[in-house]
Structure 1
Amino acid sequence: MTMSKQAITGIAKQFGVRVRQQKKIRGGIYRIVTPRGRTFSLKRMPKGVARIRWVDRMLIRVRREGSLLAWRNPKMPEGRNTYQLSRKGEVFVLTPWILGRKPSPRNLADMRGCGAALARFHEAGRTALIGNFAYSQIGTWYATLRNRHRYIQNKMAKAKRNVFSLPINRFLKQHGAEIMRYSRQAEALLNSSEYNNCRRNPRKHGVLCHGDGGPSNFILNDEGTYLIDFETLHVDLRAYDLYRIIYNSCKDYQWDFSIAKAILDGYRQVTTLNKSEYKLICAWLRFPFSTFLVLSPFKRIPFTMKRLRWALDSERRIGPFLQELDEYAASHSS
């Protein structure tokens, strides 16, 4: 949904910020420049007010522990309000625009920095959750994987009925069994892990998780490595956040294990990981998520033959990648 410049200016004004320039970055995200040259991010949050207030409490606590975050500073005039509502009732937050660059998966030092920043976030998040354990997704892993499995299964059934174009129908018929096998392997890995113990003891194992870590959600500058974009913030296991950053960093780089190794090395500079956590990461990585995204109504990844081939190549590369991850885990776990 496109908003007018006047509407954006009006929302910024509610935060006490005058707008000299504005630029739409993507849907719901705008860069705001004030007459004095200060720069902010005005972002629509797809969550309710209660969730945003919880996110705000958690992030302010985490920042007190030293994590670098793009979030409001309540001591500044523009940071006095957690959120503001548009005329249509949409929730917007105003955060500092962090100057710097996005990390590159080709730069292993960048990836180590991201791993260390995520670890510091998790360590600070444990403290932040004391007495405020909410929005946990620790118990949802089986349901999520099974729902996605059924979704892919339904698409394969449609291909057998020739619902799609001839090339797509043929491709899914030819490779459907292989794709579904990867999905079953993911659930088998989860079954053989310590997941059930974790979900029975969520307060013991849960941490504050970013939810969608990857190169696009970190900013590097002279101060260090910042985390940005917190609409997916929730409580989960550390392994889920590590899976997300590894997936998002490796999927477009032929699953080069050196990228994942750098992330994990950086993480381990701050804290240790145990063998069961590596297995949980493997379970998520083995699920054919790239194929799921192509088959889903996800605008950024269209349902085309080119993308289907890309996804299948990705799923196949994950097998050898997981073998390397197992070897890494054997020598780098507590």
Structure 2
Amino acid sequence: MKSKSFKRYFILLYPFLMLITLVLVALISNISLNDILMAAAKPLTSPFYRLSFIKEFLIVGLLSVAMNLSLSMGEMNFSLEGIFHMAVFLSALVAIYFANFFIIIVLVPIVLYFLWQVPKKVSRGDGNKLIISSLIFNYLILGAINYLVYTFFSDENISSAVTKDFAFALDMKLGVAIAVASLVAFIIFAVKTSLVTKLKIIKDAPSILTSTGTEIKKEKRAIDLCLTLLTSVAAFLYLFLNYNRFSLQSFTGYGFDAITVTLLARGDFKKLAYPAILITYIRLLSLVMQTEFSFVSSVMYLMQGVLIFISILEARDDRNY
């Protein structure tokens, strides 16, 4: 997969391939084409689903920028789904038991930062081991959070998969403002610290930094901190945009969506918007079809897995080249 033209067309067409596959699976499942077209139009025509699209895009977009930071410096750390779950869980825990949102601002990013380092410590700088260890660690976090919610923090009056109530919600306008402010703060920090340039050097020629006496670990720590801060903001928006509790049954996939977006963008921040919009649309279309026609499809996550597998093979070939 070393052809630049192939990569360019692959990036452009893969989201559409996901969309076509979703439609074909729906047709095989005896959903009529007319119903599929009606579902496809709802994210654009229904006020409720338009609002949902904005919320989904904010979350997927912030997580995509966060994941892109890791990918831009050549680290294929795939534990973002678990890290995002942990951020939401910790925010909910604070909202339920502490009612002190300053703790969310300080506690959550710090916890996420240390969790993000675990797969890297286990792999000890080996890129192939990092891929495997991060995927394993991802599911260990998911399993731990499921156990904690079901065992200690669920509302048995509603469902064992639903957390207890917390009395706080964000207005959509405020949510958008928080997301924009977070991105602006990140951009200012990136420009002031020449972060993009450093990312490119770290990825392409880390020996240059070593030979000039530059502390690579310091740069990577700063990048990881930005990553966890953006993930924390995404979790905060997910949890408090018109919610007063969260359910494990519908709480999945955002981290994998972001990984898909960043793999398609190939670490280029300028190319994130296109796949982020399409992946968000496909996510929402799946939700509409599930709500309207009881159509439950895992095809999107299957294709995300295929993309991750292809990217792993490509990364391995690039290292061996």
Where on the TM-score scale, by shorter chain, does this alignment land: which range?
A: under 0.3
Highest CA radius of gyration, 1 or 2?
1
Larger strand percent: 1
> Scaled by the length of structure 1, what TM-score is found?
0.23
